[in-house]
Structure 1
């Protein structure tokens, strides 16, 4: 027995990505605990949370709206990654790895969002 969102690849990747980001923030300076660390973790968690919440909705239009929230949260994560790199909290290699995951997840979410949108038409 499982919820339908647990079968979605985008949800599974978002869950794994969230854990990677959480681990990454452990290396940030203590002064960032209520700033960048908190912001990037909340944004990353919001990706999977909105996918799951939207999947419970009765209409595809509502699910599409929640996927939009997930996409915006992912954009927030990418901006936070840039800030972390500029502040020298993460190395270029780690930035590139996380950026690639984010880029691929964004493309998958947008494709899924379009698929749902087109199912309404």
Structure 2
């Protein structure tokens, strides 16, 4: 089994790709401000899942990286909320996919 089989990884990767692409719709002056912060925090969600999975033989390490991933997820949500409030014309691009 691989981290690629984890539903949480698949979901996080899908959302990372969507938000990464959407950040380039922001005004130019936001590309390196909120856009960059969003790209980095959403990447951190999936990166910490992968790194934690790689350390899964050490339960405490695995849990620690999942906690980091959760914190990065909260940070990502905060960046999304700010972008949606500041740039409502692009809000649809930053809304989570409907399931």
**TM above 0.5, one fold?**
yes
- Greater C-alpha Rg: 1
Distance in 1 between residues matched to 2:84 and 2:14, nearest whole Å: 21
Distance in 2 between residues matched to 1:99 and 1:8, nearest whole Å: 19
Distance in 1 between residues matched to 2:27 and 2:62, nearest whole Å: 37
Distance in 1 between residues matched to 2:98 and 2:35, nearest whole Å: 20
2:30 pairs with one of 12, 16, 32: 32
- Superposed displacement of residue 99, structure 1: 8.3
2:86 corresponding residue in structure 1: 87
- Superposed displacement of residue 100, structure 1: 7.2
1:4 corresponding residue in structure 2: 2
Runs (4+) of structure 1 exceeding 3 A deviation are: none
Q: What is the TM-score normalised by the length of structure 1?
A: 0.72
Structure 1 unmatched runs, 5+: 102-121
Distance in 2 between residues matched to 1:36 and 1:99, nearest whole Å: 21
Structure 2 unmatched runs, 5+: none
Distance in 2 between residues matched to 1:28 and 1:73, nearest whole Å: 21
State the Cα RMSD in Å: 2.0
1:74 corresponding residue in structure 2: 73
Distance in 2 between residues matched to 1:67 and 1:100, nearest whole Å: 25
Partners of 1:78 and 1:99 within 8 A in 2: no
| Aligned positions, number | 97
Q: What is the TM-score normalised by the length of structure 2?
A: 0.87
